[in-house]
Chain A
């Protein structure tokens, strides 16, 4: 999404219309604009802006959903700091993000390079993006079946290799890696296509020059593709990391945060607090913390990877 944001800003300054002398338009044009924007503005005000303000407000209250909220100042935030379940959730979430983003990014880079250097087939690209179009719930259920501890096909396969069966979703140590890898499977093709689109913007002449100089594919990847892809890679990472921090569906459908809170990711914890324990104020405080974390993570990623600067002169 950040990609789109940047793109829009660039467009406004280049092909937008603000340079015209009558930048505010005729009265008729203004009236039309107001009418055109009205439904979106209504949606924004009611379902984005107002609930954001309310969310901040609730985070300073004790609110059980049935009685009116009671102002408690910073109590919820103090409680968050001392909440062992919250810290466990953070640990679990970070572990999830590291496994998910780590495997997904490396594999997607590999897949994008394969596509870029081998083929432009629409069929191949269609096949690899297919999992992304299927809903999280369906994907979670199919893997829940394939990875069943007793009769899942994955354990049959492990059996042929002489490995003992694994309770992928039922074992404390396996639950998070399993969920992370299931989501890697779902997002791999989509991420690869984003990177592939970035690679298409690298001029073919650079590779021809590389080949003339006798560079191998391996050298060309490290010396040409990766450096020139960096801005795109940075933005893709920001998008995927933010998405990964908000994992919920797979957890809710398969493990419900278990076993023994081993897969109680932060989003699931917030859901649990708000809708199963009716601690709406506290749940709001935890989501403010999540919001802050995401903002900080995005900021540092963009800074560290210098996403706004390209090596392509």
Chain B
């Protein structure tokens, strides 16, 4: 979904267009900073509220709904979602007592997202290289055909894909969740093709004269040069695969392959005593968001700089 530029280009543009630095603190600037601060606060508050609730004792959430700190702080919600609490302990803190097994869902999500990312980056890089730097008949026609895949709404292909998985007997397997995303996503091909096109021909030319074939040029020259974009792509695709809900819901709702998003949806539908186990639910959502938050903390600059455009005149 993301339109992208290489980080380098964004940096250069940022350098060439500094914001106006006015010495005086005009009223307008104070108001503008206030507005920006407000937007950031509204952005961050739900994250805080997730944290606050996850560390609260579920049984007391209703009595102190407006307390800004965790209510009767406890790790109980986390013990509950990992299945470490006994039924009585869980029910004492407003849990359902039913097994949630978030550990298993975490594992499933990691397996699925890792496989999807590995496939997309590897096969995306191969295809992108063929489109950007190899000459073969029909190249541009095939590329155009791939682009049309972007136009078809996912639900349109997912109904028949579900039938395909059923007919192959793959329902409720990792393979079913991974396969449709594994070999190709137009975005990955597109993203890397842009980068490969930007590499000067001379770089490969000298290797070509030395007798290096396309295979060797790809692995020993192009791939090392592309490590930055490859990492960025991997992060973006991992985040995307991690958050996917619709497809795993269709083909992988059984416990043994259930990923976090699907597991959370089911957890939310279990409502003991008429109201969901809010503390447990927030502990689970926090765990589901954690890997992405960690990735982001490490790679924030790379991710932020990858959002933009290139080639628009």
Interface residues of A (CB under 8 A from B): 1-8, 10-12, 15-18, 20, 22-25, 28-30, 32-34, 36-37, 39-44, 46-52, 54-55, 58, 65, 107, 110-111, 114-120, 122-131, 133-139, 141-146, 148, 150-153, 156-157, 159-160, 185, 188-190, 193-194, 197-198, 200-204, 207, 211, 217, 231-232, 235, 239, 242-243, 245-246, 248-249, 252-253, 267, 270-271, 274-275, 280, 283-284, 287-288, 290-291, 294-295, 310, 312
Contact = CB atoms under 8 A, between A and B. Distances in A.
B227 interface: no
Interface in B275-299: 275-276, 278, 281-282, 285, 288-289, 292, 296
Nearest to B50: A142
Interface string B169-197: 00000000001101110110111011001
Nearest to B44: A127
B161 A138 contact: no
Given A8-B147, A37-B130, A137-B245, 15 more contacts: A4-B3, A43-B184, A51-B159, A51-B160, A114-B36, A118-B36, A119-B36, A123-B300, A131-B43, A135-B292, A136-B245, A157-B66, A197-B5, A200-B308, A270-B155
B19 interface: yes
Contact of A29 (B47, B134, B147, B300): B134
A190 B17 CA distance: 20
Interface majority SS (helix, strand, loop, mixed), chain B = helix
Interface in B1-28: 1, 3-5, 10, 13-14, 16-20, 28
Interface majority SS (helix, strand, loop, mixed), chain A = helix
A117 B307 contact: no
B146 to A, nearest CB: 6
Nearest to A139: B46
Nearest to B307: A193
A188 B43 CA distance: 9
Contacts of A137: 243, 245, 260-261, 264-265, 288
Nearest to A28: B213
Contacts of A20: 135
B309 A197 contact: yes
Contact of A58 (B159, B214, B301): B159
Contact of A117 (B20, B157, B179, B300): B20
B203 interface: no
